[in-house]
Structure 1
Amino acid sequence: MLTVPLPIALLVIGTLLLTTVMAGTLTSRFGLPALIGFLGLGMLAGVDGPGGIAFNDYVLTQGVGVACLIFILFSGGMDTSWQAVKRMVRPALVLATFGVLISALITASAAVLLLKFTWFQGFLLGSVVASTDAAAVFAILRSTGLDLEGDVPALIELESGTNDPMAIFMVGAALLFITQPGASPLGLLPDFAGQMAMGVVIGLGIGWLLPELLKRKHYRSSGLAFVISIAAALIAYGLAEVIGGNGFLAAYIAGLVAGNRSYAARRIISTFQDGLAWLGQVVMFLTLGLLVAPTNLVDVIVPGLGITFVLMLVARPVSVFICLAPFRSLDWRAKLFVSWAGLRGAVPIVLATFPMVAGVPGAFTIFNIVFFVVLLSSVIQGPSMKWVAKRLGIGANDKPRSALLAIKAP
Structure 2
Amino acid sequence: MLEDLYLVILVGTVLVLLAAFSSLLASRFGTPLLLLFLSVGLIAGTDGLGLEFDNAGLAYFIGTLALAVILFDSGFQTPISTFRQAAAPALTLATIGVLGTSILFGIAADWLLGIGLFEGMLLGAIVGSTDAAAVFFLLKTSGIVLRDRIRSLLEIESGTNDPMAIFLTIALVELLSTGGGFEQLGLSVLLGFVQQMGLGLVAGLLGGRGIAFFIAKLSVDRGLLPILILALSIAVFALTGALGGSGFLAVYVAGLYAGNAGLKRAPSIRRFQEGMTWLAQIIMFLILGLLATPRNFDAILIPGIILALFLIFIARPVAVSMCLWPFGFRRRETLFVSWVGLRGAVSILLAILPILGEIEGSYAFFNIAFVIVLTSLLLQGWTLASVARWLRLTVPPRIGPVEKFELELPGAADHELLSYRVVEGSPVATGSRVPRWARPSLVIRNGRSMRYQYAGRLQPGDHVYLFISPRFPPLLDRLFASRTPVAEDDEEFFGEFTVNPDSQASSLAEAYGFELDDTENEMTIAEVMSRRLGGYPSYGDRAPIGPVELIVRETDADGVIVSAGLSLSPPDDTLLTFLRTTGSGRSALGRLFKGTRSKD
Shift of 1:398: 6.2
**Retained in 1: the 8 A contact 2:198–2:245?**
yes
Aligned to 2:168: 170
Q: Evaluate the alpha carbon distance shift between residue 8 and residue 186 of structure 1 in structure 2; reply closer, same or farther with a 3 A threshold.
A: closer
Aligned to 2:258: 258
Shift of 1:28: 3.9
Aligned to 1:403: none
**Retained in 2: the 8 A contact 1:24–1:35?**
no
Deviation per CA, 1:139-165: give whole Å up to 9, x if none: 011112221013011111111111111
TM-score calculated relative to the size of structure 2: 0.64
Aligned to 1:360: 359
Aligned to 1:88: 86
SS of the residue aligned with 1:185? helix
Shift of 1:13: 1.7
Shift of 1:369: 0.6
Q: Whole-Å Cα distance in 1 between the matches of residues 304 and 318 of structure 2?
A: 20
TM-score calculated relative to the size of structure 1: 0.93
Aligned to 2:157: 159
Residue 198, structure 1, aligned to residue 230, structure 2: no
Aligned to 1:391: 390
Aligned to 1:126: 124
> Which structure: larger Rg?
2
Aligned to 2:284: 284
Deviation per CA, 1:330-370: give whole Å up to 9, x if none: 21111111000010111100000000111101111110010
- Which of residues 137, 140, 143 is equivalent to 1:142? 140
Shift of 1:104: 0.5
Aligned to 1:350: 349
Q: Evaluate the alpha carbon distance shift between residue 293 and residue 24 of structure 1 in structure 2; reply closer, same or farther with a 3 A threshold.
A: farther
Deviation per CA, 1:100-128: give whole Å up to 9, x if none: 01100111111111111111110110010
Letter in 1 for 2:194: A
SS of the residue aligned with 2:179? coil
- Range moving further from structure 2, 204-213 or 114-123: 204-213
Letter in 2 for 1:357: L
Letter in 2 for 1:251: V
Shift of 1:32: 2.2
Deviation per CA, 1:42-83: give whole Å up to 9, x if none: 11111111x210111101111011010000000111111110
Residue 332, structure 1, aligned to residue 350, structure 2: no
Shift of 1:224: 1.3
Runs (4+) of structure 1 exceeding 6 A deviation are none
Q: Mind listing any 5+ residue stretches in structure 2 that lack a counterpart?
A: 399-404, 407-600
SS of the residue aligned with 2:326? coil
What count of residue pairs does the alignment treat as equivalent?
398
Cα-Cα RMSD? 1.9
Q: Whole-Å Cα distance in 2 between the matches of residues 114 and 27 of structure 1?
A: 35
Aligned to 2:544: none
Shift of 1:89: 1.3
Q: Whole-Å Cα distance in 2 between the matches of residues 112 and 12 of structure 1?
A: 41
Question: Which has the bigger relative contact order, CA under 8 A and spacing at least 6?
Answer: 1
Shift of 1:397: 6.2
Shift of 1:209: 1.6
SS of the residue aligned with 2:145? strand
Q: Evaluate the alpha carbon distance shift between residue 150 and residue 36 of structure 1 in structure 2; reply closer, same or farther with a 3 A threshold.
A: same
- Range moving further from structure 2, 270-279 or 18-27: 18-27
Letter in 2 for 1:257: Y
Shift of 1:396: 3.6
Residue 13, structure 1, aligned to residue 12, structure 2: yes
Aligned to 1:70: 68
SS of the residue aligned with 1:326? helix
Q: Evaluate the alpha carbon distance shift between residue 362 and residue 217 of structure 1 in structure 2; reply closer, same or farther with a 3 A threshold.
A: closer
- Range moving further from structure 2, 348-357 or 229-238: 229-238
Aligned to 2:543: none
Letter in 2 for 1:380: L
Q: Whole-Å Cα distance in 2 between the matches of residues 150 and 271 of structure 1?
A: 24
Shift of 1:93: 1.2
Q: Whole-Å Cα distance in 1 between the matches of residues 34 and 158 of structure 2?
A: 16
Aligned to 2:210: 209
Aligned to 1:57: 55
Residue 303, structure 1, aligned to residue 303, structure 2: yes
Deviation per CA, 1:233-282: give whole Å up to 9, x if none: 21111111111110000010011111111122222112211111110110
Q: Whole-Å Cα distance in 1 between the matches of residues 26 and 316 of structure 2?
A: 25
More helix by share: 1
